[in-house]
Chain A
Amino acid sequence: MGDPAVVVDSLVKRFAAKTAVADLSFSVAAGEIYGLLGPNGAGKTTTLRVLAGILTPTAGRALVAGIDVASDPLEVRRRLGFLTNTTGLYARLTGRELLDYFARLHGLGPAAAEARIAVLVRALDLAPFFGRRCEGLSTGERQRLSIARAMLHDPSVMVLDEPTAGLDVLASRFLRSFVRAERDRGKAVVFSTHYLAEAELLCDRIGLLHHGRLLAEGTPAALRAMAGDAPSLEEAFLRLVAAVDAPGATETAP
């Protein structure tokens, strides 16, 4: 295995007096799905926003495809596909207009943009609604279009923030299949969710976040073993959190 596609090293992110991420370290290899798991407010979205070059680290560093997000966020955004936790589509544009706009922002020429959009339309089955305005699309359709938007430039790293939130069973399954396929094409995927069962199904490795700190890290099986052979990842998480939050525990929340 070569250099990791994503490196997070002693990352700290503070918002005024609040520490959202505290001394977080992990790495993701090419061809790996890494899940960031944790409850609301654990620091998942903040970590992913730092990786996407939207937020600047307070301390520590984050590298995407070997590029420091703090020193060259624009180049990071060119190498990375970021799917936000809201679909974030421009409601008054059609699917075609939206993808065309982002293709141009990524520097694709008209012919290259057309070809790439055609590939994504087929892969994500966008054709039935591609000419409609985004405001009229269903949640599943919007999410597929969002994935297409994030994948337009065929990035080597995908950062997906709660991509299955609000999706029905079929749409969730479709998305998981797509992510696995991208992993198999050699992409590094960082995936955040608070659906532990879904993470267990999809992720090669998982980092459990709690109050901005990495509680534990490993494969789903390793994490269950770490928590005393917990029957599920959810149970493992609860046991690990209880151990940290217990009175007298050395690990304290910031």
Chain B
Amino acid sequence: MKLREVKLVAGKELRETLRDRRTLAVMVLFPLVIYPLVSLVTAQVLAARVARIEAHVARVAVSGPPALTGELRRRLTSADVVVVASAAESNRAVLAANRVDAVAEVKPGAAGKPPEVRLLYDETREESATARDRVEQALAVPVGGANCRPAFSVATAGVAARTQVSGYMLSKILPLVVVVMVMLGAFHPAIDITAGERERSTLETTLSAPIDRTSLMAGKVLAVATLASLTGVLNLASMSLTVLEGTHLIAGGAKTPIPWLRAAAAFAVIPPTAFLFASVMVAIGALARSFKEAQTLLTPVYFLCMAPALTAGLGDFQLGGVTAWIPGVGVTLLARDLILGHASLGVTLAVLVSTALYGAAALALAARLYDSERLFFTDEAGLGLGAWLRHVASGHASAPADGTDDQPATTAGHALALYAIACILLFFVFVPLQTWRLGPGLMLSEWVGLGGLTWIYARGRGQKLAEVIRIGAPSPTAFAGAVLIGLSAWLVVGLVAEWILPAPKEVVEGLRRAVAPTDGGRGTLVTLFLMALTPAICEEALFRGPILRGLRTRLSPAGAAILTGLLFGIYHLDPWRLLPTAILGVALSGIALASDSIVPAMVAHFVNNACLILLARLHADDTDALATSTKLLLGTLGAVVLSVGIHLMRRADKKRGGM
């Protein structure tokens, strides 16, 4: 082996690899954007779950001789435990009916021993386990100091049936494993039947057969879904047996009953899940020109598809309403509820139907993407994805790329690169800074971070910042429209979001504390500057500046506004605020495009945030305290104002000559 030759080969290989933009995208996007994004969202879900459990006041019933229960009550009563009156029913019955979280049965101890407490709890409820811990801690404090004996001797006993316990354990593990394994089962077959077909040079043969594209893709999706289902079934069976064996070992050889019927019911989620992910992966695979490219495209998609299932698996979401209709979340929660025996027929149908509908939509997309024009464009002319997407959108066979168009100052590639950099800064710089000190952290993140990023981008492009972000004097109509939208959007969007996906109380309380600290350490004006004016300028400069303008070069006005809004929502790293923030982002993008200036978007953003801050500081933001009729009235009023604002923006757009 000669070192010179090794270096020569390594140099050539590195040059080739690094010139492959897709490889670079995976190298950068994965570790720096997708992993932190998924992990931060997961951490937030877990934190909310822990906060909810900690905030729950444990309800404990006490029974036994009055002489002993008095002392027990005295020791137990605290901020996080409330002793409830003993019911006439049996202790186990009140526990099973979820009327208490734990029951402390006390009786006198043997001679010379402390009284004995038998602590009953339900192993299948987290609140019950938390109550058990709190009672144990409270009773563990010795009488008369650390060296003295404990006042009570405590023994715990779970009351849930063994089948329930094993079902509960299965419900914690199986849903996520099954959904993720179904995805994994779809991954390679999807690549093989799309990009693999091109690599094996059988594509032309397939396309020359007398079969329409939808039938062709449906057949391919069915094959992938079958393999993915098989993977899911095998994993479900294998995991059930593993859990059975594990619990058998833990129980010291005692037989652990498994709720086989309920575990088998979880099979119901496998076919629609497999269909959904097979369709999505076949659609993405259809974009790829080679096996390698398909892997590059599908790997991030795989992780992004996994995120909803992970969130649902780790969180304590209830299945029903909107959660049933969220792809990935619904099936994971349904599998859990089927195993626990909680799933109702209506919700089950909603999940299965919605998942099948999403799968059908992805299949339709796959059929459109598996377009011979695109597949042979790249062979014939090396046509890029962008030009082909225009072709798909327009329905024309050829893209009008005559090379005479002026190169846009900001491209979609720049927009996505800027967003990726902003996300990286957010994960590794902004979040730690704001955790350290909220005020200074926000100032640095927004003005130096986002503002600086936009400024550096403009300088790097050799343009003025005002040109890149389009600072222009808005028309009075656009200005008035922006103010009205800012005044009303938060109300309408907030009520809609509360109806669709209400944030946990702890999350709302956390936000309230950030906006209106209880220690009074930050005045209203400072808060308005920090949390309304600063983001209105810095976030708008980046998102409604180069990101929106760059995406607009490849997408329709509506497409660019929606994607920018979605990116804006994701950037805020809060699953409960994703929907309202994304909708606000879409509205602000629409304002910027309609007025062809960033100023109205900044105005609307400022007014929106200012309204929320003022309400929080006036303690008038608790919607729970409002009657439904009041909410409806406010929502209607907000919708009217919002409609007027949108109307004014459209007039401004028409006067300007349209988007």
Contacts and interface: CB of A to CB of B under 8 A. Distances in A.
B211 interface: yes
Given A56-B397, A77-B209, A84-B208, A16 B202 contact: no
Interface in B393-448: 397-399, 401-403
A18 B399 CA distance: 10
Contact of A88 (B202, B383, B398): B202
Contact of B383 (A16, A46, A86): A16
A83 to B, nearest CB: 9
A54 B397 contact: no
B209 A102 contact: yes
A102 B210 CA distance: 9
B377 A91 contact: no
Contact of B398 (A15, A78, A146): A15
Contacts of A146: 205
Given A56-B373, A105-B211, A17 B202 contact: no
Nearest to A52: B208
A159 to B, nearest CB: 9
Contacts of B200: 90-91
Nearest to B384: A16
Contacts of A58: 397-398
A61 B399 CA distance: 19
B387 interface: yes
A16 B376 contact: no
A82 B208 contact: yes
B383 A105 contact: no
Interface in A53-96: 53-58, 74-75, 77-78, 82, 84, 86-91
A14 B201 CA distance: 23
Interface string B194-207: 00000011111101
Contacts of A105: 209-211
B210 to A, nearest CB: 4
Interface residues of B, number: 26
B97 interface: no
A55 B208 CA distance: 10
Main secondary structure of the interface of A (DSSP, over half): loop
B397 A20 contact: no
Interface in A1-51: 14-18, 20, 46, 49
B210 A17 contact: no
Contacts of A82: 204, 208
A18 B380 contact: yes
Contacts of B254: none
Nearest to B397: A56
A173 interface: no
A20 B377 CA distance: 11
B211 A16 contact: no
A17 B380 contact: no
Given A54-B372, A78-B210, A102-B209, A16 B204 contact: no
A106 interface: yes
A194 interface: no
Given A16-B387, A46-B380, A56-B397, A77 B402 contact: no
Nearest to A53: B208
Interface in B368-400: 372-373, 376-377, 380-381, 383, 387, 397-399
A74 B210 contact: yes
Contacts of B380: 15, 18, 20, 46
B5 interface: no
Interface residues of A, number: 33
A58 B212 CA distance: 21
Main secondary structure of the interface of B (DSSP, over half): loop
Interface in A98-147: 102, 105-107, 146
Contact of B204 (A14, A74, A84): A84
A58 B381 CA distance: 15
B210 A77 contact: yes
Contacts of A78: 210
B201 A88 contact: yes
A149 interface: yes
A74 B383 contact: no
B204 A54 contact: yes
Contacts of B210: 74-75, 77-78, 105-107
Contact of A16 (B201, B203, B399): B399
Contacts of B376: 15, 49, 54-55
Contacts of B398: 14-16, 58
Contacts of A14: 397-398
B101 to A, nearest CB: 59
Contacts of A16: 377, 381, 383, 387, 398-399, 401
A52 B203 CA distance: 13
B204 A86 contact: yes
Interface string B350-374: 0000000000000000000000110
A15 B208 contact: no
Contact of A89 (B202, B203, B212, B403): B202
Interface in B319-336: none
Nearest to A98: B205
Contacts of B204: 49, 54, 82, 84, 86, 88
B212 A86 contact: no
A222 B397 CA distance: 37
A145 to B, nearest CB: 11
B523 to A, nearest CB: 59
B205 A88 contact: yes
Contacts of A57: 397
B209 A55 contact: no
Top 7 closest pairs, chain A to chain B, by CB: A88-B205, A15-B381, A86-B201, A77-B210, A82-B208, A84-B204, A18-B381
30 contacts: A14-B397, A14-B398, A15-B380, A15-B381, A15-B383, A15-B398, A16-B377, A16-B398, A16-B399, A17-B401, A17-B402, A20-B381, A52-B208, A54-B372, A55-B376, A56-B373, A57-B397, A75-B210, A78-B210, A82-B208, A84-B201, A88-B202, A88-B204, A89-B202, A90-B200, A91-B200, A105-B210, A105-B211, A106-B209, A146-B205
Interface of B: 200-205, 207-212, 372-373, 376-377, 380-381, 383, 387, 397-399, 401-403
Interface of A: 14-18, 20, 46, 49, 52-58, 74-75, 77-78, 82, 84, 86-91, 102, 105-107, 146, 149
